[in-house]
Amino acid sequence: MPTEIPPRHIRLTSHPGQSGGGAPAIRWGAPDAIERGPIVGTTTNRSQRNVIGTHSGSYGVYRALAVAAGSLTRGHRADLTNTSPTDAIGPYPQWGDAERIVSIDPWGAAVASVYEPYLEQGYDIRPTIAVTKAHIHLPEIRHAIAFQRLAADGRVLLSDASAVVTKVALEPVWWLPGVARRFAVSEADLRRALFEETGGMYPELVTRSDIEVFLPPIGGQTLYVFGDIRALADPSVTLTARVHDECNGSDVFGSDICTCRPYLTHAIEECIRGAQAGGVGLIAYSRKEGRALGEVTKFLVYNARKRQEGGDRADKYFLRTECVAGVQDMRFQELMPDVLHWLGIRRIHRLVSMSNDKYDAITGSGIEVGERVKIPDELVPADAKVEIEAKIAAGYFTDGSAPDDSRLASVKGREFE
């Protein structure tokens, strides 16, 4: 039985001047961790908080549910024994540039060491980044070995066809002034839209302009690194990289209406090959399901595409999304390069992506890109021709010619069975 006495009233954090003065200041972009100040998103001791929102992205809602259901004690503090990163990352010069990284906390993996003085004083500081190691088994990689495109080397690729990786999970930490500048909007307009369009979920967005950091309730990112993660920051080491946006239907379930999993596994094969040749490979996977429109919207669009007059056609591909969602895409690649700068990356030798939005965001942020690697034609599922041709016509990278209007209109997808 919990012995904790429930509070008599709800403590609001939406008005200034009521905290105990124990919240550390955040100086975003300061090159030193202590000078920058820790991110304190705990709900345990509210006087220590210096952010809007809380940890774990969208999973914070499940934590609240667990508290409501009585299965989690309010104020539980994480025991972080033995949780430190398997590989040290940084600090890199990019960490000390406030405008270079605005959507993640560069010190988020190292809080236990760099904020030890705060932890000793009782501050509840949680990592927003975790670094671990794994072996990954993929049927496509076994296939690549069977067809002698890859061979086990006992280092990057083991004899059981598993690949050795370092993997990193990152939660979003938004510095609102920097995020606003990235989108060329005023901070006030950004705060107001975030407040109003989440149904008023975070009143501090509009009442606490003194709090500049927001932990948004959205999905984060996962990195898979092949080879030495520290080599990512060395522009003389050949880097093969793919920045991939989540597509549950294809990535996990093999749905054939798009190229997501075939392109992802092709990129992993390229990353392994590159790491075996003395380079390093990176997959940066963002939780932005269905162009960040969500899977319900995505499936509605599939229906609208398949049922429209003339069937599923490449020349109507973007129009059908826009009809349902109001926009063609909500992924907004503007924040995506932050994680590359966090890793110290200055040059991507081989970018395994055809997306012009991603290419423009990466190069526009100051990272050089060498070769762009398209998905091999034989890996494009028949029903995904609609998507890939529509994207090439809209500006995706190709080594062939972009389809003209008549060719685009002739690319058709399967009908519902």
C-beta closer to Zn ion: residue 251 or 315? 251
Q: One symbol per residue from 73 to 102: x for binding Zn ion (CB under 5 A), - otherwise; what is it?
A: ------------------------------
286 binds Zn ion (CB under 5 A): no
Q: How far is the CB of 381 from Zn ion (least distance, A)?
A: 10
DSSP 8-state secondary structure symbol assigned to residue 29: T
Under rule CB under 5 A, residue 241 binds Zn ion: no
Check: CB of residue 31 under 8 Å from CB of residue 99: no
- Does 250 interact with Zn ion (rule: CB under 5 A)? yes
Site for Zn ion (CB under 5 A): which residue of 260, 272, 275, 325?
260
Instruction: Name the minimum Å distance from CB 251 to Zn ion.
Output: 7
Query: Would you count residue 144 as binding Zn ion (CB under 5 A)?
Result: no
Whichever of 367 and 386 has its CB closer to Zn ion, that residue is 386
Shortest spacing between CB 78 and Zn ion, in angstroms: 35
Q: Is 297 in the site for Zn ion (CB under 5 A)?
A: no
384 binds Zn ion (CB under 5 A): no
CA atoms within 13 A on the CB side of 99: 8
* Burial (0-12, 13-18, 19+ Cβ within 10 Å), 9: exposed
Question: Should residue 301 be labelled a site residue for Zn ion when binding is judged by CB under 5 A?
Answer: no
Is 79 annotated as catalytic? no
CB of 256 to Zn ion, least distance (A): 10
For Zn ion, which residue of 39, 180, 243, 247 counts as binding (CB under 5 A)? 247
Which of the stretches 42-50, 244-252, 327-335, 401-409 binds Zn ion when contact is defined by CB under 5 A? Answer: 244-252
Please say whether the beta carbons of 41 and 204 come within 8 A. no
Q: Which stretch binds Zn ion (CB under 5 A): 104-112, 137-145, 243-251, 336-344?
A: 243-251
Catalytic residue among 191, 242, 273, 331: 331
Count of residues in contact with Zn ion, rule CB under 5 A: 4
- The beta strands (E) that lie in 192-238 are given as 213-215, 221-226
For the CB of residue 400, give the shortest distance to Zn ion in the complex, in Å: 22
Nearest to 277 by CA among 242, 232, 238: 238
Count CB-CB contacts under 10 A for residue 319. 14
Residue 29 or 290 having the CB closest to Zn ion: 290
Judged by CB, which is closer to Zn ion: 187, or 256? 256
Does residue 362 belong to the site contacting Zn ion (CB under 5 A)?
A: no
331 classed as catalytic? yes
Q: Which stretch binds Zn ion (CB under 5 A): 23-31, 143-151, 251-259, 375-383?
A: 251-259
Identity of residue 182: R
**Please, what sign has the CA dihedral across residues 73, 75, 81, 85?**
positive
Q: How far is the CB of 82 from Zn ion (least distance, A)?
A: 37
DSSP assignment of 349-363 equals: EEE----HHHHHHHH
Can you state the angle between helices 385-393 and 317-325, rounded to 10 degrees? Answer: 90
Check residue 354 for interaction with Zn ion (CB under 5 A).
no
Residue 329 Cβ, how far from Zn ion at the closest point, in Å? 13
Q: Would strands 129-136 and 163-170 be described as parallel, antiparallel, or unpaired?
A: antiparallel
Choosing from 26, 150, 258, 271, the residue that interacts with Zn ion (CB under 5 A) is 258
Please give the biggest Cα pair distance in the chain: 72
The residue among 260 and 386 lying less far from Zn ion, judged by its C-beta, is 260
DSSP string spanning 294-342? -HHHHHHHHHHHHHSTT-SBGGGHHHHHHHHHSSS----GGGTHHHHHH
What are the residues whose beta carbons fall under 8 Å from the beta carbon of 398, sequence distance 6 or more?
A: 354, 374, 392
Ramachandran category for residue 311: left, alpha or beta (phi over 0 → left; psi -120 to 50 → alpha): left
Complex with Zn ion: residue 258 or 348, whichever CB lies closer: 258
Smallest separation, CB 402 to Zn ion (Å): 21
- The residue (of 52 and 260) whose beta carbon lies closer to Zn ion is 260
Distances (CA, A) of 382 to 151, 247, 256, 259, 385: 29, 18, 8, 10, 6
Interface positions, 181-240, toward Zn ion (CB under 5 A): none
In the set 124, 251, 315, 329, the catalytic residue is 329
In sequence order, the β-bridge partners of residue 265 are none
Taking a C-beta distance cutoff of 8 angstroms, is the pair 354, 392 a contact? yes
Residues carrying an active site annotation: 329, 331
Residues in contact with Zn ion by the rule CB under 5 A: 247, 250, 258, 260
